[in-house]
């Protein structure tokens, strides 16, 4: 089967955060609905709508162009990425719908493979594929619209962390840089496969483990990069210190960043975060990785400081490269300080 | 000098092509790279800064930017200085090329002092916007706003820092004896003013 044509896919294809918030801010306000617990005003990972005191549904969708050449793998990654937003809200996946853009005159077996990969991940998530919508388009794009459920009292918001909380990251950073380098033949198979395994991994397992602990806030790391999503988590009323040497990173991504195999998305993220971050003598490659757009990145959890070590230990036992990467502080002038700890 | 055409190339291709050109010149020389978007410019400048190369960029049009990189003999490709990465200011969130024209030291017709206060208020409000205009052009008695004695210098500096280019008409400065008293932005001529205004998506005159 032919390979998919990739021209900078995955979450590197996302519109910049800056340009997006300016457009969203200009939309007219809607009528207030008290059951919409989390809507787009909140810049959270997914929308949450309360049905009863104990049940709310979580809705999200995500789709993008291929970031890898193998259609089946692309399907798995796109689905894992879309499903992730449900886990970032602390929810459980129930149903999913396919979103497909595909050139009708090209090899339709590829589309079959993409959808097979997606279906496999929906099943693994414990959900059921219930339908979809497809468009004849010049470029391939695929993703899912996902609905899950959550107890409204146990939602993981992204901005409700508390000063003193430890921040835990559950996947390695650097997949955007690795996929970009792979596209122009600048990285080896082994590195790419390691990144692919990470992107295919559902955040379901991290989410399930985290529910035994006092999680105050959670988000998943995707297109806006680690620092972009962290900035949303701080929500202008908290600051944090990030320990650069503790952050789980694909080693090869550092070498590639030093060769400037970096994305436009990463630079857009740097522009968006701007003066809100201060780097204390951090190597260039590490800065780039912290801005690197991630496809199907890990969860970033704000957890009660007394439970952080236990949670990391349990995540690691389940084979996740989790680590305590920082802590939330009271609001200071600079929102994010990255230090060499 | 080597010219690199990276128009139409997505990141990181412009950087990869430029690195190859730098290798090709060996030792020292100049590489001139054409790209079609500002993010590519920023990524090229970031690389130049890390490698300790002198670099500058110029916007030829909305779809053409030229980055000139001067590779000095002593800087080698292996040298990785611990310089902080370029915090390149971006105006990518600017949706349109908006130009604000200020052609008087007053806003509207009316009581003189009051009209001056209004203009000061306008410039202050302009400096508090999320998206600054691309350019602010001052001509005729408008140049009193960019020169000594103006109460709007601080606000204009805020705008300049946010990415707005500030120009004052040179002939106007001369006419009012203010040429030596320009405190913010730069002087320009009528040809440039005409060019800027014709290329604008939106011209705002208070």
**Cβ-Cβ contacts under 8 Å for A31 (sequence gap 6 or more):** none
Asked if A14 and A265 touch (Cβ cutoff 8 Å), the reply is yes
Tell me, yes or no, if A102 comes closer than 8 A to chain B by beta carbon.
no
- Of A6, A11, A179, A240, the active-site residue reads A11
Label residues A117-129 b or e (16+ Cβ within 10 Å = b). Answer: bbbbbbebbebeb
Q: Do A267 and B87 touch (CB under 8 A)?
A: no
Name residue, tokens 């006419």: B175
- B98 versus A7: the higher-pLDDT residue is B98
Tell me, yes or no, if B40 comes closer than 8 A to chain A by beta carbon.
yes
pLDDT at B62: 87
Domain boundaries, chain A: 10-154, 166-339
Nearest alpha-carbon partner for B31 in B56, B7, B12: B56
pLDDT tens track for A27-40: 888 888 899 998 87
Tell me, yes or no, if B143 comes closer than 8 A to chain A by beta carbon.
no
pLDDT tens track for B176-201: 999 889 999 988 888 889 888 998 88
pLDDT at A185: 87
Residue B95 binned pLDDT confidence (cut-offs 50, 70, 90): low
User: Does residue A207 have an active-site annotation?
Assistant: no
Choose, out of A284, A287, A338, the residue to mutate when testing the contact with B (most B CBs < 10 Å): A284
pLDDT at A11: 58
What's the average model confidence in pLDDT over B11-20? 91
Q: Do A288 and B85 touch (CB under 8 A)?
A: yes
Q: Which of A22, A181, A267 sits opposite B42 (nearest CB)?
A: A267
pLDDT at A3: 66
**Cβ-Cβ contacts under 8 Å for A278 (sequence gap 6 or more):** A334, A336, A337, A338
Q: What is the CA radius of gyration of chain B?
A: 21
Residue B78 binned pLDDT confidence (cut-offs 50, 70, 90): very low
What's B22-70 look like in SS3? HHHHCCCEEEEEEECCHHHHHHHHHHHHHHCCEEEEEEEECCEEEEEEE
pLDDT tens track for A204-244: 999 999 999 999 999 999 999 999 999 999 999 999 999 99
A-chain CB neighbours of B89 within 8 Å are 271
- The domains found in chain B, sorted by start residue, are 2-71 (3.30.110.40), 92-204 (3.40.1260.10)
Q: How many CB atoms lie within 10 A of CB A279?
A: 21
Q: Which two tokens stand for residue A176?
A: 């955007």
Q: How many CB pairs under 8 A join A and B?
A: 80
What's the average model confidence in pLDDT over A14-20? 70
Give the strand pairing for B202-204 and B98-102.
Answer: parallel
- Our CA dihedral for A329, A330, A336, A337, rounded to 10 degrees, sits at -60
Asked if B29 and B43 touch (Cβ cutoff 8 Å), the reply is no
Residue B135 binned pLDDT confidence (cut-offs 50, 70, 90): very high
Q: Do B19 and A260 touch (CB under 8 A)?
A: yes
**Would you say residue B4 has pLDDT above 60?**
yes
Round to whole Å and give the CA distance between A254 and A238.
29
pLDDT tens track for A164-211: 999 999 999 999 999 999 988 889 999 999 999 999 999 999 999 999
Round to whole Å and give the CA distance between A14 and A293.
9
ipTM: 0.81
Domain A10-154: CATH superfamily is PurM-like, N-terminal domain (3.30.1330.10)
Average pLDDT, chain B: 85
- Our CA dihedral for B96, B102, B103, B107, rounded to 10 degrees, sits at 130
Round to whole Å and give the CA distance between A82 and A96.
9
Asked if A306 and A200 touch (Cβ cutoff 8 Å), the reply is no
Taking the CA of residue A295 and the nearest CA in chain B, the distance in Å comes to: 17
Burial class (CB in 10 A: 0-12, 13-18, 19+), B114: exposed
A-chain CB neighbours of B87 within 8 Å are 270, 274-275
What does the DSSP 8-state code read for residue B185?
S
B-chain CB neighbours of A264 within 8 Å are 10-11, 37, 39-40, 43
Q: Which two tokens stand for residue B153?
A: 């210098």
A-chain CB neighbours of B130 within 8 Å are 22
CA triple A273-A275-A279, angle to 5 deg: 90
B-chain CB neighbours of A259 within 8 Å are 19
**Would you say residue B84 has pLDDT above 70?**
no
**Cβ-Cβ contacts under 8 Å for B44 (sequence gap 6 or more):** B14, B15, B18, B33, B35, B55, B57, B67, B69
Tell me, yes or no, if B95 comes closer than 8 A to chain A by beta carbon.
yes
Fold for the domain defined by A166-339: Phosphoribosyl-aminoimidazole Synthetase; Chain A, domain 2 (3.90.650)
Tell me, yes or no, if B78 comes closer than 8 A to chain A by beta carbon.
no
Residue A25 binned pLDDT confidence (cut-offs 50, 70, 90): confident
Nearest alpha-carbon partner for A248 in A201, A307, A209: A201
Round to whole Å and give the CA distance between B70 and B82.
20
pLDDT at B76: 43
pLDDT at A14: 67
What's the average model confidence in pLDDT over B82-109? 66
């Amino acid at each position: 089967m032919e390979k998919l044509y990739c021209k900078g896919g995955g979450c590197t294809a996302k519109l910049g955060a800056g340009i997006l918030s300016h457009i969203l801010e200009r939309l007219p306000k809607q009528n207030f609905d008290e059951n919409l617990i989390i809507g787009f005003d909140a810049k959270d990972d997914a929308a949450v709508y309360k049905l009863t005191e104990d049940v709310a549904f979580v809705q999200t969708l995500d789709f993008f162009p291929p970031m890898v050449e193998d259609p089946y793998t692309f399907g798995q990654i796109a689905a894992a990425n879309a499903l992730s937003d449900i886990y970032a809200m602390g929810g459980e996946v129930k149903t999913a719908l396919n979103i497909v853009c595909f050139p009708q005159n090209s090899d339709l077996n590829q589309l079959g493979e993409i959808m097979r990969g997606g279906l496999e991940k929906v099943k693994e998530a414990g959900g059921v594929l219930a339908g979809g919508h497809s468009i004849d388009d010049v470029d391939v794009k695929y993703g899912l619209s996902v609905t899950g459920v959550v107890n409204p009292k146990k939602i993981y918001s992204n901005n409700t962390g508390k000063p003193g909380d430890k921040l835990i990251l559950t996947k390695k950073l650097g997949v955007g840089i690795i996929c970009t380098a792979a596209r122009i033949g600048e990285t080896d198979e082994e590195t790419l496969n390691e990144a692919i395994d990470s992107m295919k991994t559902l955040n379901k397992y991290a989410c399930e483990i985290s529910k035994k602990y006092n999680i105050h806030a959670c988000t998943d790391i995707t297109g806006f990069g680690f620092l972009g999503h962290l900035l949303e988590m701080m929500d202008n009323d908290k600051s944090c210190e990030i320990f650069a040497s503790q952050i789980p990173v694909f080693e090869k991504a550092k070498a590639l960043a030093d060769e400037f195999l970096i994305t436009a998305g990463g630079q857009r993220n740097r522009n968006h975060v701007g003066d809100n971050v201060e780097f204390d003598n951090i190597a260039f490659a590490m800065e780039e990785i912290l801005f690197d757009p991630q496809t199907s990145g890990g969860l970033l959890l704000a957890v009660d400081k007394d439970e952080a070590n236990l949670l990391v230990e349990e995540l690691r036992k389940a084979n996740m490269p989790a680590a305590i990467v920082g802590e939330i502080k009271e609001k200071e002038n600079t929102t994010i300080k990255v230090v060499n700890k | 000098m080597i010219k690199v055409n990276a128009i139409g190339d997505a990141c990181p291709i412009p950087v990869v092509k430029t690195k190859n050109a730098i290798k090709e010149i060996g030792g020292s020389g100049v590489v001139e790279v054409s790209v079609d978007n500002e993010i590519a410019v920023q990524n090229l400048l970031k690389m130049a800064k890390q490698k300790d190369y002198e670099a500058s960029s110029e916007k030829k049009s909305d779809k053409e930017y030229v980055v000139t990189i001067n590779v000095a003999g002593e800087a080698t490709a292996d040298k990785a200085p611990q310089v902080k990465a370029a915090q390149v200011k971006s105006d990518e969130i600017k949706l349109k090329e908006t130009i604000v024209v200020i052609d008087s030291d007053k806003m509207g017709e009316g009581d003189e002092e009051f009209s001056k206060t209004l203009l000061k208020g306008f410039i202050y409000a302009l400096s508090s916007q999320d998206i600054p205009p691309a350019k602010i052009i001052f001509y005729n008695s408008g140049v009193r706003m960019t020169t000594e004695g103006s109460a709007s210098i601080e606000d204009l500096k805020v705008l300049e820092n946010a990415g707005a280019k500030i120009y004052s008409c040179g002939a106007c400065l001369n006419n009012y004896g203010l040429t030596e008293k320009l405190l913010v932005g730069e002087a320009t001529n009528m040809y440039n003013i005409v060019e800027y205004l014709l290329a604008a998506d939106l011209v705002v005159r208070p």
